[in-house]
Structure 1
Amino acid sequence: MDSRMLQRTLEPEVMDAPDEADLYDAMDHDAVNQQFVRDLVAGGAVGPNVLDLGTGPAAIPILLCEAQPQCRVVGVDASPSMLHLARHNVINAGYELSIQLELTDAKVFEWNDDLFHTLISNSLIHHVANPETVVDSVTQWLQPGGRVFIRDLVRPDDEATIEHWVAKYAGNEPEYCQQLLRQSFHAALTLGEMRELVARSGADPQCVMMTSDRHWTWDAVLPIT
């Protein structure tokens, strides 16, 4: 490993304080969330049964149900404060029958009903100290032939790039929110690290690709066995 590269610095796995959840929800994630759903829909079949790991305030499930009304989403999050916001947002959007919210840690999530057709996750991996626990569990949640679509931030090589991205993408946010983004970049995986985890799980690492200047995406269909 190149000692000059930024090493991964973990951040708290759960954003559970109500004021932290409120600040996160107030940040402008609209463009990122909308791009996530556009790329998801454009890249292949979605649903109808969808699992969203680390659903947060449920912005992506709501956008997905708007774009794909046939979808039924189970959103999982370990933060009671986030799920409180999520329930409020789902009710306001009128999707109580389409979006089910579950308070549980994605690393130990168990599902006893039918397996899912699609698994999605946005910006969960960088919160997880041992992300292989999530990567290795994908097959237990998805049907054979199911699709995984996981996106997260990428950790760059240097502090200067982080500061450039914080200024570019959160320059109008309060300092606290800028610091959250800064910490997230430090906690993120590099493209190579994520590909290594996917390869160790038995999946094709080349299905993990850079999809923006600051995001990688793992988009793959499981084999039908």
Structure 2
Amino acid sequence: MDDATEVQEYQQMDHQGVNSAFVDDLIAGGTVGPRVIDLGCGTALIPILLCQKQSDVEVVGVDSSVEMLEAARIEIELGSVTGRVHLEHADCKVLEGFQDAAANTVISNTMLHHVAEPARVVAQAFRVLAPGGRLFLRDLVRPATEAEVEALVTLHAEGETDYARQLLRQSLHAALTVAEIADIAAGHDIPAEAIRMTSDRHWTLDWIKPDAI
């Protein structure tokens, strides 16, 4: 979303429930941080919420959209986490300038379906994650039928704008299946058991990278 109008439309959507569930599940599932990288941070609502709930965490939010990052700077100030959430404009398929093993935790929420080559993002997430660190990825799952897509749009985008409904519809069509993300993960020796359905429309990958031998 490099258009200011699109970012404004995005900000008007109700993300609170999804974001809260992401952060709560992340914290409940194990150790987080202290160094966290959020791939596709958008307006940084998840990094902000995470820092508000975990006092010892600092987050680097990465996004390729300048407009999203500009909006994120305002949200960071409003959320009183200035100095703990840092923003980087970068392509998550490359992460140029990020060192290997730079983070104790790498997270991403509903970003992979926006990327034409999601395997490259997963590869970068694996690279910048330190041994013993935690990978926590969540995204939409692609339904098997058009009827299932429409049912999810009706259920979860009721009361939203036409733009929001269409964005969810397109996102569901673009999303990976559990089998597809499992196949990508297998290339990094991440077992299929690390991936599971965690809602009627989301899969979650939660995995600890083995310590270096």
**What TM-score bracket applies, with the shorter chain setting the length?**
over 0.9
Number of residue equivalences: 211
Indicate the residue corresponding to 1:78 in structure 2.
Answer: 64
* In the alignment, structure 1 residue 39 sits paired with structure 2 residue 33: no
Gaps in structure 2 of 5+ consecutive residues:
none
Indicate the residue corresponding to 1:168 in structure 2.
Answer: 155
After superposition, where does 1:104-143 map in structure 2 within 5 Å?
A: 104-110=90-96, 111-112=98-99, 115-143=102-130
Pairwise CA distance, 1:203: 1.6
Residue identity matched to 1:220? W
Q: Is the 8 A contact 2:100 2:130 kept in 1?
A: no
Pairwise CA distance, 1:140: 1.5
Q: For 1:54-81, what per-residue CA distance to the aligned partner results, in whole angstroms no more than 9, with x for missing partners? A: 0001000011001101100000000011
Indicate the residue corresponding to 2:40 in structure 1.
Answer: 54
Pairwise CA distance, 1:113: 8.5
Indicate the residue corresponding to 1:68 in structure 2.
Answer: 54
Q: After alignment, is 167-176 or 135-144 more displaced?
A: 135-144
Separation in structure 2 between the aligned mates of residue 35 and residue 149 of structure 1, nearest angstrom? 13
SS in 1 for 2:88: strand
Pairwise CA distance, 1:94: 1.4
- Runs of 4 or more, structure 1, over 4 Å off, are none
Q: For 1:103-149, what per-residue CA distance to the aligned partner results, in whole angstroms no more than 9, with x for missing partners? A: 11111113148710000000111011111101122232011000000
Percent identity between matched residues is 48
Separation in structure 1 between the aligned mates of residue 88 and residue 94 of structure 2, nearest angstrom? 12
Q: After alignment, is 137-146 or 119-128 more displaced?
A: 137-146
* In the alignment, structure 1 residue 94 sits paired with structure 2 residue 85: no
Separation in structure 2 between the aligned mates of residue 186 and residue 139 of structure 1, nearest angstrom? 26
Separation in structure 2 between the aligned mates of residue 206 and residue 86 of structure 1, nearest angstrom? 34
Separation in structure 1 between the aligned mates of residue 101 and residue 29 of structure 2, nearest angstrom? 24
Indicate the residue corresponding to 1:4 in structure 2.
Answer: none
**RCO higher in structure (CA 8 A, sep ≥6):** 1
Report the TM-score, using the length of structure 1 for normalisation. 0.91
Indicate the residue corresponding to 1:156 in structure 2.
Answer: 143
Separation in structure 2 between the aligned mates of residue 177 and residue 189 of structure 1, nearest angstrom? 20
Indicate the residue corresponding to 1:210 in structure 2.
Answer: 197
Separation in structure 1 between the aligned mates of residue 126 and residue 138 of structure 2, nearest angstrom? 17
Separation in structure 2 between the aligned mates of residue 64 and residue 90 of structure 1, nearest angstrom? 12
Report the TM-score, using the length of structure 2 for normalisation. 0.96
Gaps in structure 1 of 5+ consecutive residues:
1-14
Residue identity matched to 1:117? N
Q: Is the 8 A contact 2:100 2:128 kept in 1?
A: no
Among 179, 185, 193, which residue is 1:192 paired with?
179
SS in 2 for 1:163: helix
Residue identity matched to 2:80? G
Q: Is the 8 A contact 2:153 2:168 kept in 1?
A: yes
Residue identity matched to 2:171? S
Pairwise CA distance, 1:201: 2.3
Q: Is the 8 A contact 2:101 2:127 kept in 1?
A: no
RMSD: 1.1
Separation in structure 2 between the aligned mates of residue 127 and residue 201 of structure 1, nearest angstrom? 21
